[in-house]
Amino acid sequence: MAVNVSLIMIGTLALSMGVGFYFREKNRNTVHNTLLVSSICVFMWNIGYALLGFNTNYALCTAWRVVGLAGIIFFICNEVIFVRYVTGLIKKHFAIIHIPIVITGIAVLCTLGQPSTVNWVRINGRTAYYSNPSFARTFESIYIGAIFLFLLCMGIIWLIRAKHKREREMIIILVIAHCMLMISIIPDTVLPIMGLPSFPSTCYGAFVCFIANLIVADKFNGFSISLANTANYIYHNVDTSVIVLDDKHVITKANDFAMKFFNIESVGNSSFDDMFVIPDDDRGTEVDNELANLDTPENVSKDGKVIFDSVEKLLDEVNKSDLRNSFRLKEKDKDIFCSVNFNTIFDKYHEPMCTVCMIYDLSKEEQKFNEVNELKIKLQKDLKKKTRELEALTLQSITAIAATIDAKDMYTKGHSIRVADYSVQIAKELRWGEEELQNLRYVALLHDIGKIGVPDSILKKNGPLTNEEYDQLKTHTTMGAEILKDMKVIPDLDFGAKYHHERYDGKGYPSGLYGEDIPIYGRIIAVADAFDAMNSKRVYRNNLPGEIIEQELLKGRATQFDPDILDIFYEMYKKGLVHSDYETDEKYIL
């Protein structure tokens, strides 16, 4: 009696545990039907032999024995499927191996289910039986032995291939459980053959094996590592939001992470357009305009980007053009920024069926970006401030040097500064950039630095210079270039000093360069320097009248001066645009 009651209890417990696991794991898509089938088989196995023991009607005993045998056969068949599924050893196209196992099992069941295979006997208050030696009993033994040998081989192969500790522990649990099941079969099979009453020890062994399967599936999450279930497991357990939209942008499916992260209460009612908006910051949402069939020309920016002003328009374009770019979107009413990758699935008519959205949380990245951006802005401000201070200091230093040079002769006071001003005005007409203009100013300010090495007797001579004196004066170009050549902070600083007395016709000095072989700095300063020399009062003459200056400038076109630069300067001069911010004691009025 106690044996029969215990069989009913463990059978019912196994069934409830199997059903509970199935419904508990159903929403995670990690459940597999083999564990539920296994619990049903254990229930049939135990209930069949329990009710067999209660009955004295041998016809009913035969029926309940068939139920128990069915539990045994299908449990063993299902065990092969369970191990194959968890290990992933047998690929899908080899699953046909289950067919002969099931067919042979049904043949064993039909053979052993015949009343003539056993003799009934009552012992200790329960019905038992003796087995008649027959082909059926031999057939059953070979079948069960072959199945367990097959399971053992699978376990060995799995152990050889196992890479993780979890897999090895799972193998040990399953091997021990199957060994216990094999041991429990011995009393139930051998005793009846030896003429002794049967004892349903296999029922207890089946329950132990089922518990082992449950531990492997539940505690070790065994189904998650099977090849057949990888996609579903990843979909539901990856820490990335996966949302599927229909062609109306309605959310039809979402994984667990997305449901929790975006507080999606139910799919089928929420629209993607209502969840996200285009960020309104400077970066916006944009993609390269590489597709010729884009229907949004009004959204194409000057730099060849396509900018969408709403999520609805973005999704419409995704569905039409199959854009596969990543887009930066912001969750509505929240400061959560996301990177969304859209993949539109088309049917055979190339019409959109659905859109799979992979969504990555950018909140931490946005915070870091903002911090870095703020730091970048601060550093840029500091850099601009320091650059302005350095430029001011450099300009002050160079201006001081230029003033020192000009101070050697009271009549050339302010000459270098005025030449620099005129040169910059010419360069502005040539549309030079700010950095180039600043460099030109430095070069022009120091164009006469070589005069430091020319004796005052020559610079201040009141009258024409002799040939020897003029040759010595001309050395100020090469002397100035030699002084400035090693100053690499300002590009080409020595060009103004060396080349401002070169002539366009090649008759200048010190190198006799011709035309555009003369560096642009030298050609610009040559015009500005000649103009200021004529427009200034010198020791040997007063400043020249305006008419004479005009004549001399035009006379030097394409001979002394670059014609293009001379034309620019002359046009400025005629319009009254030539001026200098430097003020001297005397006004030079043309």
Q: Is residue 379 part of a domain?
A: no
* pLDDT per residue as tens digits for the range 149-180: 888 888 888 888 777 787 788 888 888 988 88
What does the block give as tokens for 15?
């069934």
351 in the same domain as 440: no
Mean pLDDT, the chain, rounded, equals: 80
111 in the same domain as 62: yes
Runs of H (alpha helix) within 266-362: 272-275, 311-321
Query: Does the predicted model carry a pTM greater than 0.85?
Result: no
Range of the domain at 418: 385-574
Runs of H (alpha helix) within 430-503: 434-445, 456-459, 467-484, 495-499
pLDDT band at 232 (very low <50, low <70, confident <90, very high): low
Last residue of a domain, which of 232, 248, 277? 232
What lies within 8 Å, CB to CB, of 70 at 6+ separation is: 44, 48, 109
> Tokens 């009343």 map to which residue?
115
pLDDT of 570: 92
pLDDT band at 322 (very low <50, low <70, confident <90, very high): low
Q: Is residue 123 part of a domain?
A: yes
Whether 423 has a pLDDT exceeding 90, the answer reads yes
Q: What is the CATH number of the domain that holds 59?
A: 1.20.1070.10
250 in the same domain as 104: no
Last residue of a domain, which of 206, 232, 258? 232
Phi-psi region of 286 (alpha: psi -120 to 50; beta: other; left: phi over 0): beta
Q: What is the CATH number of the domain that holds 557?
A: 1.10.3210.10
250 in the same domain as 212: no
Q: How many domains does the chain have?
A: 3
What are the C-alpha distances in Å from 247 to residues 131, 311, 314, 355? 67, 14, 13, 7
Q: How far apart are CA 526 and CA 581, in angstroms?
A: 20
Whether residue 487 contacts residue 495, with contact meaning beta carbons closer than 8 Å, is answered with no
133 in the same domain as 12: yes
Considering only the C-alpha atoms of the chain, give the largest distance between any 2 of them, rounded to a whole number of Å. 152
What does the block give as tokens for 242?
């996966």
* pLDDT per residue as tens digits for the range 566-584: 999 999 988 888 877 654 4
Looking at per-residue pLDDT, the higher value among 141 and 441 belongs to 441
Q: How far apart are CA 47 and CA 53, in angstroms?
A: 10
What lies within 8 Å, CB to CB, of 266 at 6+ separation is: none
Helix%, strand%, coil% for the chain, nearest 5? 60, 10, 30
Whether residue 413 contacts residue 406, with contact meaning beta carbons closer than 8 Å, is answered with yes
Last residue of a domain, which of 174, 208, 232? 232
What does the block give as tokens for 426?
């010419």
* pLDDT per residue as tens digits for the range 392-406: 777 777 777 777 776
What does the block give as tokens for 297?
């020309």
249 in the same domain as 142: no
423 in the same domain as 394: yes
> Tokens 């709403």 map to which residue?
310
Whether residue 127 contacts residue 61, with contact meaning beta carbons closer than 8 Å, is answered with yes
Q: Is residue 114 part of a domain?
A: yes
* pLDDT per residue as tens digits for the range 474-493: 898 899 888 888 877 788 88
What does the block give as tokens for 399?
């201006």
